[in-house]
Amino acid sequence: MKNELTNDILRVLYTEDEIKARVEELGAALAARFAGQRPLFVGILKGSLIFLADLIRACPLLCDLEMMAVSSYGNATSSSGRVRINHDLQQDVRGRDLVVVEDILDSGNTLAFLRDYLTAKGAASITIVTLLDKPSGRQKAVTADYVGFTVPDEFVVGYGLDYAQLYRNLPCIGVLKPEVYGKPDKT
Ligand code: PRP
């Protein structure tokens, strides 16, 4: 369907239905992995918001939920490498089994930082779940335990992922038209 949100999309990588099916598989895998335990999900805002909301509902476990907000991109299309915590944990994670939920693993700067940060906070274990993995972007040695989709080296938006804070509410995941980068009203 054409509208002002989809006009800027070059092509759809994953449809709403494809995402839903994959998220259900990930939720079932996590439910099996943590059966009988009480993991603490840590959603990394803002990008993971929509994935997290769907993932935890696809995962029938007794679990806790925390949010952290970190950013490293600003309005740029590649990582600055500096990770800033905008909202920190509200509870002690010492001794807890954490499930860190990300929308995308790209350079690895964010998850490398978070892994060190959460380890220093005393987490018993850290399981990384990312909806998208872009291995071509990697600068730090980070591997996710659960990956939804492996994506090519293109700028993807939708289902929580933004460009300059836009397109997070696109229900599918798509590649942004290159001419959209740098439009004065979109930065
Ligand atoms: C995005 C995304 C990840 C991170 C991944 O966050 O949500 O947290 O970048 O990239 P990396 O592997 O290169 O570090 P961003 O900093 O854009 O903030 P946002 O989640 O608020 O969009």
Domain boundaries, the chain: 16-74+92-151
What does pTM read for this prediction?
Answer: 0.93
Identify the weakest region by mean pLDDT among 8-17, 136-145, 172-181: 172-181
Domain 16-74+92-151 maps to which CATH number in 3.40.50.2020, 3.30.70.360, 3.30.499.10, 3.40.50.1000?
3.40.50.2020
Task: Give pLDDT, residue 81.
Answer: 72
The one catalytic residue in 8, 54, 103, 106 is 106
- pLDDT, residue 186, reads 53
Please state, rounded to an integer, the average pLDDT across all residues of the chain: 93
Measured at the CA of 38, the angle between CA 34 and CA 40, to 5 degrees, comes to 100
How many other C-beta atoms are found inside a 10 Å radius of the C-beta of residue 185? Answer: 6
Q: What pLDDT, in 10s, does the model give residues 63-98?
A: 999 999 998 865 555 566 789 999 999 999 999 999
Tokens at residue 35, please? Answer: 């059966």
Terminal-to-terminal C-alpha distance of the chain: 25
Separation between Cα atoms, residue 124 and residue 104, nearest integer Å = 24
Q: Which atom of ligand 1 is nearest to the CA of 160?
A: 22
Distance 36 CA to ligand 1 centre (A): 31
Helix, strand or coil, per DSSP, at residue 63: coil
What would the mean pLDDT of 30-54 be, rounded to a whole number? 97
Q: Which residues line ligand 1 (CB under 6 A)?
A: 44, 46-47, 71-73, 79, 102-110, 162
Alpha-carbon gap, residue 173 to 88, rounded angstroms: 28
The predicted structure's pLDDT at residue 183: 62
Confidence of residue 1 (pLDDT cuts 50, 70, 90): low
The protein residue with its alpha carbon nearest to ligand 1, atom 16, reads: 71
Residue 162 falls in which region: left (phi positive, over 0), alpha (psi -120 to 50) or beta: beta
> Do 157 and 181 meet the contact criterion of CB atoms below 8 Å apart?
no
Cα 27 to middle of ligand 1, angstroms: 22
Q: Is 106 a catalytic residue?
A: yes
